[in-house]
A and B are shown apart, each in its own frame.
Chain A
Amino acid sequence: MSADPDEELVRRVGAGDPAAVQTLVARKLPRILSLAVRMLGDAAEAEDVAQETFVRIWRHASSWRRGNARFDSWIHRVTLNLCYDRLRRRRELVTDDLPDMADPAPLPDAREEPHRVEQALQAIAPRQREAIILVYYQEMSNIEAAATLKISVDALESLLSRGRRALQMILARDGVHD
């Protein structure tokens, strides 16, 4: 197993080194936040998830030991679990408070391309979204992404293929993609 580039930094954070804490936040916050934003499609909720992820890091830093996964994979797993909790809560809320009629007004910036891509990502299956975000946006290797999702590389490739096909279909339907 190759060395974990974060291991020494996490050890220093666990020992209460303020400089290490600052370095870890600077290094990991942008990654955690972008993962949560793309998983949830909501900036405010993503910030809450980022804060909760860091609380877990502070709690576990002193006892964190590298097992099968790198620290970066571990924090991705923590963030994804927190995102899933929120997605589940959303589904429960939608089921409980289903509106009588859909709002006919167009969404703000509905014609904007990045916004369409964001909506398309939210429309595909969460597991496919996870796989695309980890490999495409978080720039994880196929092996790291598969380890984070606790699946085989073949299963990861299957999720990626189905996810990209679904995105192409949604974007083509919306006239964004041929």
Chain B
Amino acid sequence: MAEDIEDGPAMDARRFAALAEAYGGDLRRWPQAERDAAAAFASSETGQAISRRAHTLDALLDSYRVRHPGKALHDTILRTADRYIVRRRRQRFWWLGLGLAGIGLAGAIAGLALVTVVTPEVQPDHYVLDANATAFGDAGPDMIEEDL
């Protein structure tokens, strides 16, 4: 029903007629700030005449009623809701799965990087170079047991 936070103008026949013309004869539809003044004016002869005219059209508007929604429409709408909600849940799970996979992948990469940084590099035995090593092998003095 009507409500208005602003103070309305003082009620007179002109204002009362303007409001009745807009909102009809039922004061519950009128701007809230003007209802008390309007109710007081409505008891006057002029007020009664204006209200009567407005109520005539209100009664005609009241006669036009709309049927309540049928069960078929109600059920169809609920079915569409199911479809949307199920789809949204699936999307949510899909994104959750993708997020978890992403977190797992990021963890694996971080772990690999950590292992690479922390673990010291191990040189293979056959690739140990020292001052005596040449392309033909170790050119240092042969040290065999017989020489010792």
Contact = CB atoms under 8 A, between A and B. Distances in A.
Interface in B30-77: 31-32, 56-58, 60-61, 63-69, 73-74, 76-77
A62 B88 contact: yes
Would you call the interface of chain A mostly helix, strand, loop, or mixed?
helix
Nearest to A159: B22
Would you call the interface of chain B mostly helix, strand, loop, or mixed?
helix
A117 B74 contact: no
B117 to A, nearest CB: 43
Contacts of A59: 84
Contacts of B66: 33-34, 37-38
Contacts of B12: none
B13 interface: no
A58 B4 contact: no
A18 B24 contact: no
Contacts of A30: 68-69
Contacts of A176: 60
Interface of B: 1-5, 18-19, 21-24, 29, 31-32, 56-58, 60-61, 63-69, 73-74, 76-78, 80-82, 84-85, 88-89
Given A21-B85, A118-B64, 12 more contacts: A16-B89, A22-B78, A50-B69, A51-B76, A54-B80, A55-B80, A58-B85, A136-B29, A158-B22, A176-B60, A177-B56, A177-B57
Interface of A: 16, 18, 21-22, 25, 29-30, 33-34, 37-38, 43, 47, 50-51, 54-55, 58-59, 62, 113-114, 117-118, 121, 132, 135-137, 139, 141-143, 153, 157-158, 160-161, 164-165, 167-168, 171, 176-178
